[in-house]
Amino acid sequence: MVGVVNGKVLVTGHLGYVGTVLTPVLEQSGWQVTGADIDLYSDCSVAMLPNRPPCPIADFRDWPVEALGQFDAIVHLAGLSNDPLGSLDPGLTHAINHQAAVELARRAREGGVRRFVVASSCSVYGGGGEQWLDESSATNPLTPYAQAKLDMEQSLFTLCECDFEVVIMRPGTVFGASPRLRFDLVTNNLVAWALSTGCIRLKSDGQAWRPLLHVRDLARAISGLLEAPSDQVSGQVFNIGFNTLNLRVIDLAERLATAMPKARLQVEGMADSDQRSYRVDCTKLANLLDDWRPSAQPEDVVDELSELFVQRPLTPEQFEGADLARVAHLRERMERGEIDRELRNVRP
């Protein structure tokens, strides 16, 4: 059985870091894309959003069965996007990243949606250490975010059946430019520090492993999983990344230092080790997708962010503070009464 091609797809979180890159990729492939996003980070744009028909501001938690039934597929990206956000309120993280995601899938199945491609995370592997981890390896979530993602995976598989195809993605650590750029991702953060201060600043001892991939490559993978034959993806988990881009953080920093010879490498005094460390085998995805190789290396972020910093010089206080950093931004919006404790927009 062939996969879905050129149908109607709902992308939740289409206004986020990945979604703003993914949406035009899918449209160029012939998909009719509708977005669902409450746009929590509307003030965190660093570039113009893609020029496309506007979508209503909509919470994926509120989409009814009859509205979902118009779609051939759903790509579910929305939710609390990393460990620090997940730790703000572990109960809320469980409610959004696990329970609400599963309820969305349940309604989608009832409405007749065929394929549900959902973003989990390689963070479910937790403290994997030096060993290579494939999709069958033991998981060891260390944070509320990672636990909620793993719980979501396990619950979603109970919904998978012949006419409702669940495809689980475990993306590595993404890097690269996006209109909704995230500066809390390690490659982007290191380059931003170097461009703004002349210092590549490591906040840990750098010994943790991270599987890295450019945001464009993640978009390519999602497109491929949407269109792949059903018997090759339905009910499957896929690590999303490249074996060649599994790097220790210190090795990543040294590569960036070579690309930025005027920047000095600084490891914070008494820096702690990061217990979240995973070296991820992505062979399964490479065997599925033709020509699956990196379109960009971490060093390419230097040029991507250099252009941004010329147009809009940023300080660490801006990209790590409430202006652009996700956790700080949400806290400030809560304090201003713009969103409630369930991360819903407060209407006037």
Residue range 188-217: mean pLDDT, rounded: 95
Q: Is residue 232 part of a domain?
A: yes
What's the mean per-residue pLDDT of the chain?
92
Q: Is residue 279 part of a domain?
A: yes
Q: pLDDT value at position 318? A: 93
In the predicted structure, residue 301 carries a pLDDT above the cut 60:
yes
Q: Which residues contact 320 (CB under 8 A, 6 or more apart)?
A: 183, 328
Instruction: Tell me the CA distances in angstroms from 30 to 14, 23, 27, 264, 268, one per residue in order.
Output: 17, 11, 5, 45, 48
Lowest average pLDDT, out of 79-88, 191-200, 303-312, goes to 79-88
CA distance 165 to 160: 6
Output the six-digit token pair for 269.
């005094």
Q: Is residue 221 part of a domain?
A: yes
Question: What are the beta bridge partners of residue 35?
Answer: 11
Beta strand segments in the chain, E: 8-12, 32-36, 73-76, 115-119, 127-133, 165-171, 173-175, 199-202, 209-214, 236-240, 246-248, 264-267, 277-280
Determine what percent of the chain is predicted with pLDDT higher than 90.
80
Q: pLDDT value at position 270? A: 60
Q: pLDDT value at position 1? A: 38
Q: What is the pLDDT of residues 10-61, one digit of tens each?
A: 999 999 999 999 999 999 999 999 999 999 998 888 887 776 656 777 899 9
**Count of structural domains within the chain:** 1
Q: Is residue 190 part of a domain?
A: no
In the predicted structure, residue 175 carries a pLDDT above the cut 90:
yes
Q: Which domain holds residue 115?
A: 8-181+211-246+275-295+326-335
Q: Is residue 319 part of a domain?
A: no
Closest by CA position to 322, among listed 311, 340, 335? 335
Q: Is residue 92 part of a domain?
A: yes
The pTM assigned to this predicted structure is 0.95
In the predicted structure, residue 157 carries a pLDDT above the cut 90:
yes
Q: Is residue 16 part of a domain?
A: yes
**CATH number for the domain harbouring residue 158:** 3.40.50.720
Q: What is the pLDDT of residues 225-284, one digit of tens each?
A: 999 999 999 999 999 999 999 999 999 999 999 999 999 998 876 667 788 999 999 999
Q: What is the pLDDT of residues 108-128, one digit of tens each?
A: 999 999 999 999 999 999 988
Under 8 Å between Cβ of 222 and 147:
no
Residues 160-186 as b/e (b if ≥16 CB within 10 A, e otherwise) read beeebbbbbbbbbbbbbbbbbbbbbbb
Question: What are the beta bridge partners of residue 209?
Answer: 248
Q: Is residue 257 part of a domain?
A: no
